[in-house]
Structure 1
Amino acid sequence: MTPVHILAASENPLLPAWYDIVWSAICLLIVFLVVWKYVLPAFNKTLDERAERIQGGIEKAEKVQAEADEALAEYQKQLADGRAEAARLRAEAQEEGAQIIANMKTQAHAESERIVAQAQTQIEAERQSAMVQLRSEVGTLATDLASRIVGESLTDDQRSANVVDRFITDLESQSSAQPVKGA
Structure 2
Amino acid sequence: MDATFWALIALIIFLALLAYLKVPAMLNGTLDKRAERIKNELDGARALREEAQQLLAEYQRKRKEAEQEAEEMVAAAKREAKIIVAEAKTKTEEYVTRRTALAEQKIAQAEQDAVNEVRARAVDVAVAAASSILADKVDGKVSGALFDNSLKEVKSKLN
Which TM bucket (shorter chain)? 0.7 to 0.9
Q: Which digits, 9 at most, give the CA deviation of each residue in 1:108-137, with x for residues without a partner?
A: 112112211221222232223222211211
Matched, 1:125 2:116: no
- For the residue of structure 2 that corresponds to 1:162, the secondary structure is helix
Q: How many residues align?
A: 147
The structure-2 alpha-carbon separation of the partners of 1:30 and 1:144, relative to structure 1 and needing over 3 Å to count, comes to closer
Contact 1:138/1:164, CA 8 A, preserved across alignment: no
The structure-2 alpha-carbon separation of the partners of 1:96 and 1:47, relative to structure 1 and needing over 3 Å to count, comes to same
Contact 1:143/1:160, CA 8 A, preserved across alignment: yes
The structure-2 alpha-carbon separation of the partners of 1:149 and 1:122, relative to structure 1 and needing over 3 Å to count, comes to same
5+ residue gaps, structure 2: none
Q: Which moved more, 1:59-68 or 1:127-136?
A: 127-136
Matched, 1:71 2:62: no
| Partner residue in 2 for 1:108 | 92
| Partner residue in 1 for 2:150 | 159
CA shift for structure 1 position 98: 0.5
Contact 1:142/1:164, CA 8 A, preserved across alignment: no
| Partner residue in 2 for 1:90 | 74
Identity of aligned residues (%): 30
**Structure-1-length-normalised TM-score:** 0.65
- RMSD over aligned Cα atoms: 3.2
Structure number with higher helix proportion: 2
Aligned counterparts of 2:25 and 2:56: Cα–Cα separation in 1: 45
Contact 1:143/1:164, CA 8 A, preserved across alignment: no
5+ residue gaps, structure 1: 1-12, 169-183
Aligned counterparts of 1:134 and 1:147: Cα–Cα separation in 2: 20
Q: Within 5 Å, which residues of 2 pair with 1:5-154?
A: 24=9, 28=12, 31-32=15-16, 34-35=18-19, 37-147=21-131
| Partner residue in 2 for 1:172 | none
The structure-2 alpha-carbon separation of the partners of 1:161 and 1:40, relative to structure 1 and needing over 3 Å to count, comes to farther
Q: Which digits, 9 at most, give the CA deviation of each residue in 1:1-57, with x for residues without a partner?
A: xxxxxxxxxxxx9xx7xxx8xxx49x8368426425421221011111111111111
- For the residue of structure 2 that corresponds to 1:94, the secondary structure is helix
The structure-2 alpha-carbon separation of the partners of 1:124 and 1:165, relative to structure 1 and needing over 3 Å to count, comes to farther
The structure-2 alpha-carbon separation of the partners of 1:163 and 1:30, relative to structure 1 and needing over 3 Å to count, comes to closer
Aligned counterparts of 1:140 and 1:30: Cα–Cα separation in 2: 154
Q: Which digits, 9 at most, give the CA deviation of each residue in 1:45-78, with x for residues without a partner?
A: 1111111111111111111111121122112112
Aligned counterparts of 2:92 and 2:69: Cα–Cα separation in 1: 34
